[in-house]
Chains A and B, each alone.
Chain A
Amino acid sequence: TQLLEQSPQFLSIQEGENLTVYCNSSSVFSSLQWYRQEPGEGPVLLVTVVTGGEVKKLKRLTFQFGDARKDSSLHITAAQPGDTGLYLCARIGRAGNNRKLIWGLGTSLAVNP
């Protein structure tokens, strides 16, 4: 059972379009991370959100953490071919020595020139 549901699973758009991908959970989490993974490489951390309602911006990427801390979204403005990749959300295990990341399955984004 995936604790984090990501949608859509696949997305193919043209250069210049805007898009939003989602990460949802039935339970509250203390913090959430977004990663981007390119083929043949490891995930690269984009952002960590910790406060309900928080909005963070990274150039053309806008990340939002839901007020109830059960969901998050990533919005990309004017997508470029270099944005192509697998976008993953992950939450950190709670308490004590539990530091493992628990992952969604990701949204595979293709931006066509």
Chain B
Amino acid sequence: NAGVMQNPRHLVRRRGQEARLRCSPMKGHSHVYWYRQLPEEGLKFMVYLQKENIIDESGMPKERFSAEFPKEGPSILRIQQVVRGDSAAYFCASSSGHSYYEQYFGPGTRLTVT
């Protein structure tokens, strides 16, 4: 089953550490999206990437957060110097170039900052 894969599924970091979340899109998909889900706020768009390009990062916090989708390998969402407020579920989705409205989601990474 070549669905969207995310790892790790659970990640615990202490305040000030770095978190790196990985996402492998579905086979044949070259568009990746990252979303964050908080209990009281729901799902929020963070960033949209194509291979080697950031297309829309309007939902990314200005500091500490970065994302990449290299030519080879998974997409990475990187959070530097994590704070308690970064604790959330982070979901990656992928789509093909033809059916961008059909986004397929991974199981998510649950980040806990202690």
Task: Work out how many contacts link A and B, with CB atoms closer than 8 A.
Answer: 60
- Rank and list the top 4 A-B pairs by shortest CB-CB distance, nearest first: A42-B105, A100-B45, A103-B43, A105-B42
Interface of A, helix, strand, loop or mixed by DSSP: loop
* CA distance in complex: A31, B103 (Å): 14
Contact A45 B102 (CB under 8 A): yes
Nearest to B101 among chain A residues (CB) is A92
> Count of chain B residues with Cβ under 8 Å from any Cβ of A?
26
* CA distance in complex: A100, B59 (Å): 9
Q: Mark A71-101, 1 if CB is under 8 A from B, else 0.
A: 0000000000000000010101100011111
Q: Mark A16-50, 1 if CB is under 8 A from B, else 0.
A: 00000000000000010100000011111100100
Q: Mark A41-69, 1 if CB is under 8 A from B, else 0.
A: 11111001000000000000000000000
Nearest to A6 among chain B residues (CB) is B42
Interface of B, helix, strand, loop or mixed by DSSP: strand
Which residues from chain A sit less than 8 Å from chain B, CB to CB? 2, 31, 33, 40-45, 48, 88, 90, 92-93, 97-106
Q: Choose from A88, A100, A105 the contact partner of B33 (Cβ within 8 Å).
A: A100
Q: Mark B45-63, 1 if CB is under 8 A from A, else 0.
A: 1001000000110110000
The residue among A31, A88, A92, A101 with the most chain B CB atoms within 10 A of its own CB is A101
A79, chain B: closest CB distance, angstroms: 23
Which residues from chain B sit less than 8 Å from chain A, CB to CB? 4, 31, 33, 35, 41-45, 48, 55-56, 58-59, 91, 93, 95, 100-108
